[in-house]
Amino acid sequence: MRSDRKKPKSDLRKYYNVFLELGLVAVLLLFIVAMKMQFVSKQKNVDLTKEQEVTKMKDVIQTKQQEKPPPPPRPQVPVEVPNDEVIKDQNINLNADLNMDQPLDMPPPPKQKKEDDSEDFFVAVEQMPKLKGGLAALQKKINYPEMARKAGIEGRVIIQFIVDENGNVEDPHVIRGIGGGCDKEALRVVKKAQFKPGRQRGEAVRVQYSLPIVFKLQN
């Protein structure tokens, strides 16, 4: 039978202290050898006593923005106002006696605006005037002015006028023109236009009306 007991020579516990002491001695020897070794640096000796280059910094001059005073205002040029009124010389009698009992001459009261002077037309009514034949038919009656054709003038002329109770045009005038003879031509055509009069509460009334007349060159 195999015996469970270990041989005395194979038991390493007896040599534990010996191995520990040998290990400590080896470590101490390595430490002493490492301390006595000299490490030589391959770098060249640097002379730290040598003066280093000095970099001079230039002083930056801070600029100041000079505020210029505003220019003085231009003197106003006097404009002559035309005055056609001639003041008559009045003779004042300084020797006249002042009578306190005599009634004083009061200035006349200001003139009041009569009701007839007010505008006798409407700007907007229930039934606005209508151009007979339409605006396209009125445009065909326009003769393009030669001056505007040569200058290449195009645009829209707006004519304002009054349509009376009979549908006729009264007091036509240009409120926006383009020149070159187009304004006169637009007035000529509008003066001959006929309208259905505007109505307010079933009655024909005078109505202010504006009509655009277009001038466009054909390529």
Residue 50: strand, helix, or coil? coil
Count the domains in the chain. Answer: 1
Q: Is residue 14 part of a domain?
A: no
pLDDT at position 8:
57
User: Residues with Cβ < 8 Å from 184, sequence gap 6 or more?
Assistant: 145
CA atoms within 13 A on the CB side of 200: 10
The one-letter amino acid code at 50 reads: K
Q: Is residue 196 part of a domain?
A: yes
What does the alpha-carbon distance between residue 54 and residue 104 come to, in Å, rounded to a whole number?
106
Output DSSP code: residue 180.
T
Q: Is residue 191 part of a domain?
A: yes
Output DSSP code: residue 29.
H
CB 198 within 8 A of CB 204: yes
pLDDT at position 208:
95
- Return per-residue pLDDT of the chain as tens, 219 residues: 455 555 555 566 667 777 888 888 888 888 888 887 765 555 556 565 666 666 777 777 777 777 777 777 777 666 555 555 555 555 555 555 555 565 555 555 555 444 444 568 899 999 999 999 999 999 999 999 999 999 999 999 999 999 999 999 999 999 999 999 999 999 999 999 999 999 999 899 999 999 999 999 886
pLDDT at position 15:
72
Q: Is residue 91 part of a domain?
A: no
What does the alpha-carbon distance between residue 169 and residue 29 come to, in Å, rounded to a whole number?
133
Domain span including residue 125: 120-215
Q: Is residue 174 part of a domain?
A: yes
Residue 201: strand, helix, or coil? coil
Could you tell me the pTM of the whole model? 0.46
Q: Is residue 15 part of a domain?
A: no
CB 208 within 8 A of CB 129: no
CATH code of the domain covering residue 137 = 3.30.2420.10
Q: Is residue 153 part of a domain?
A: yes
Q: Is residue 187 part of a domain?
A: yes
